[in-house]
Amino acid sequence: MFSKSLVFLKKNNLFRDIKNRNSSQGSRIIIGGKEYINFSSNDYLGLANHPALIRASLQAMEKFGFGSGSSRLLAGGSILHEELERKIAKFAGTESALIFNSGYSANTGIIPALADKGDVIFSDELNHASIVDGCRLSRANTYIYKHKDTANLENLIRKTKAKRKIVLTDSVFSMDGDIAPLKEIYSICLTLNATSYTPNTLLYIDDAHATGVLGKGSLEHFKIKPEPWIIRMGTFSKAFGSFGAFVAGSRDVIDWTLNTARSFMFSTALPPSVMAASIAALELIEKKSMLIKKLWARRDKTVRELTKLGYDIMGSETPIIPIRTGSIENTLKTSLYLLKKGIFAPAIRPPTVKEPRIRITVTAAHSDEDIEKLIKALSRYERIR
């Protein structure tokens, strides 16, 4: 049924397969019996294998078992779900929070819950696929503004009439590693809300790659007050080294989301053991700020050395460091070359991105030796410079 389509993918170097590891996730992984330095993980702080997370998860399993049995609204949740929501709301500086099963399910549930018929959404053109799908599932009209172009965003907002306007943006863009101009976007929304009797412009921030990377997240990074009209989504599956996601905001927003977001209402709750691991990760992040400093020291060293070699890192501002490769064929060759050198950095191709690249992700778990091996390998590779 799909044979011709699969032939097309293979012919155009767009076919993908899965490489399963037979080791834990970390800075070093084993695939097919061979060890590789792993530069493809979003485990930014290296917490996925931390003893505190493992211990908390095991203790929760002993008390609560593993499976949840049903959705939160059908008593599938535990007191650990409630505890994590209370702690993450305090962490985010908001009135309330709600746990989702993943960042993808959060965006595809929350956005349709917030945006109704007659509302208008304004979404950055490089927003994550889950935001794109959330917009498609909503009944609102969606306008795409040019990447990080606040003048274009403001022009679209001011010439559009709607009962409610919602600005959607990633804070850290997952394939480019750059940061949204949130100060400017916040100012636009603040000005619009100041002229209304009640705020009718919402700002929805996807902090998946910012939580635990830009300190507590993008609002702290930019010193922005968590206004009632700001909704923040974050994940536990990246810097927290666990799994799941959250939305943090005013109590009204969270109560509305709980009652209307289909991906929350109709999903079996995450296991209590996952909640316990996320709680342990949150406590570590709050107590050990050196982890974030270590992450950024590793990131800065990698960027400095890549730039010296003449590589184009495509405007990266974070531990996500894309390397421009020019073509799909060259991207695949580069990835294969690195693989032969014991470095795992998969090729990123359309439709994930418009322009192919190698996406290097640096974590606090990487050693100086790991980074030096990457730099040494790329210093001897002449195809993409």
- Residues known to be catalytic: 174, 209, 238
Neighbours of 18 (CB within 10 A): 4
Neighbour-count burial for 125-147, b at 16+ CB within 10 Å, e otherwise: ebbbebbbebbebbebebbbbee
Give dist(CA 319, CA 190) in Å, integer. 30
73 secondary structure, DSSP code:
G
**Pair 3, 15: CB distance under 8 Å:** no
Report which of 356, 213, 214, 368 is spatially closest to residue 305, judged by C-alpha positions. Answer: 368
- The helix/strand/coil state of 156 is helix
Give dist(CA 152, CA 61) in Å, integer. 50
Beta bridge mates, 35: 30
